[in-house]
Amino acid sequence: MASKSLLPEINIERLPKHVAIIMDGNGRWAKKRALPRVVGHEYGVKSVRTVTEAAASLGVKYLTLYTFSTENWNRPKLEVTAIMTLLVRTIRKEVATLQKNNIRLRTIGDIKGLPTDAYNELLEAMKLTENNTQMDLILAINYSARWDIIQATKAIAQRVKSGELEVEQINETEISNALDTGHFPEPELLIRTSGEYRISNFMLWEMAYGEFYFTDAYWPEFDKESFYKAIIDYQKRERRFGKTSEQITDHHNA
Ligand code: FPP
């Protein structure tokens, strides 16, 4: 008998606007089944599809998926090639679904550093979906937070050098806007799968006040109900932004 869905427990009025996910555990999921790591990534794509549809239909406005980190280039060459091929194939195959669901594809990261076919495929899919409004699906590819901070710093330094910006004008807003994530609000919720409790060079600046949710499930096992569970857990928490609990309660009652 199928167990009851957690969906009715979600308060639609208090959804996080932006959910970010560190999709982890594809390799271990495959190993447990004596399958090649690449098969784990293929099943990982299924979870990408399920969670994207779940997030969009709930009303989440931004979903960021850590797809390929700057450090992932250090993996065996065969695996890197397989992930890139999977990325190209998935985007080509799923662009119609994105259109149907009114989802806009975006990226963060140094996508110019990707193989040409992957780069072109991404550009084309972004162009095709650019007017969609239900949700932004943001793939972090060739991304790391430190890379982003470095490129933002360089951009700001250039503006100072050219006289467009004074040193004294550098503030949180200027830095946030110069980051590749500058087009999006900061994530209120970051999910990491596979029982690891690290941030792994992801959204270091943006997660200053964000909530973390960890689950032991490997990414290929993470389904719609797992996503609902993370949202419900988030909704039970109190976000204080450095204030006292009383201040937050007063604010709610104001
Ligand atoms: C993490 O598992 C997975 C990745 C680094 C790759 C994720 C890529 C995909 C799911 C395919 C990309 C497709 C789209 C469209 C987003 P791991 O290999 O780090 O697992 P392990 O820690 O168990 O080894």
Report how far residue 224's alpha carbon sits from residue 150's, in angstroms, rounded to the nearest whole number: 36
Ligand 1 center to 239 CA (angstroms):
30
Q: 140 in helix, strand or coil?
A: strand
Give the distance (Å) from ligand 1 centre to CA of residue 215: 16
Pocket of ligand 1 (CB under 6 A): 23-28, 41, 44-45, 48, 65, 67, 72, 83, 86-87, 90, 139, 219
- Measure the CA–CA gap between 14 and 234, rounded to whole angstroms: 10
Pairwise CA distance, residues 29 & 223, whole Å: 14
**pLDDT digits over 208-251, tens only?**
999 999 999 999 999 999 999 999 999 999 777 788 888 877 65
Q: Is 101 a catalytic residue?
A: no
Closest CA to 110 of 56, 71, 57, 54: 71
Atom number in ligand 1 closest to CA 196: 22
Instruction: Indicate whether 156 pLDDT > 70.
Output: yes
| Cβ atoms of residues 6 and 229 within 8 Å | yes
**Fold that domain 13-144+186-253 belongs to in CATH:** Undecaprenyl pyrophosphate synthetase (3.40.1180)
Q: What is the pLDDT of residues 20-44, one digit of tens each?
A: 999 999 999 999 999 999 999 999 9
Q: Is 132 a catalytic residue?
A: no
For residue 177, give the DSSP letter: H
d(CA 205, CA 147): 12
pTM greater than 0.85 (yes/no): yes
Do the Cβ atoms of 61 and 254 come closer than 8 Å? no
Q: Whose CA is nearest to atom 8 of ligand 1?
A: 67
